[in-house]
Amino acid sequence: MVRYGSPQTVLPRLGQGSFRVMVTDAYQRRCAVTQERTLPALEASHIKPYSDNGPHKIENGILLRSDIHRLFDNGYVTITTDLTFEVSNRIKEEFENGRDYYALNGRRILVPRNSIFRPSPEFITWHNENKYLG
């Protein structure tokens, strides 16, 4: 058997189902924002959506409670590159509500223990520039 170059770890390519399982496990089955552990209420979210060429990579994922996931996908909330949760004023402006979400504003998010699985600054920046309504 012939080998070329130095050995390196290769992470497997993930499909949507594998992405969901791997992100759920990386976040220890807890919402990154609220630390909720009720599994049926948790969803693996793409930071840069798959529909916008975001990859099924763990570092492009974050485990969120379903309501926060919907707000994240619609740009009403985001995470910052310093890994804090940020809530847009648009929730209050458009819906005259959001008290529970504003209480979470500025909270440091839970991140995976393994640093290679933590949210990529590249994908976070993309979300802030292309989705977030802040």
Is 61 a member of any domain? yes
Is 83 a member of any domain? yes
Residue with tokens 């379903």: 66
State the DSSP code for 61.
E
Label residue 15 by pLDDT band (50, 70, 90). confident
Is 1 a member of any domain? no
Is 115 a member of any domain? yes
Is 9 a member of any domain? no
Is 109 a member of any domain? yes
25 lies in which domain range?
16-130
State the DSSP code for 39.
G
How many independent structural domains does the chain possess?
A: 1
pLDDT digits (tens, 9 = 90+) for 88-131: 999 999 999 999 999 999 999 999 999 999 999 999 999 999 99
Is 2 a member of any domain? no
Nearest to 63 by CA among 36, 23, 35: 23
In the chain, helix, strand, coil percent, each to 5?
40, 15, 50
User: What is the pLDDT of the chain when averaged over all its residues?
Assistant: 92
Instruction: Identify the H or E element spanning 21.
Output: helix 16-26
What is the average pLDDT across 57-86? 98
Is residue 59 predicted with pLDDT exceeding 80? yes
Label residue 6 by pLDDT band (50, 70, 90). low
Cβ neighbours, 10 Å, residue 91 = 18
Is 4 a member of any domain? no
What is the average pLDDT across 37-64? 97
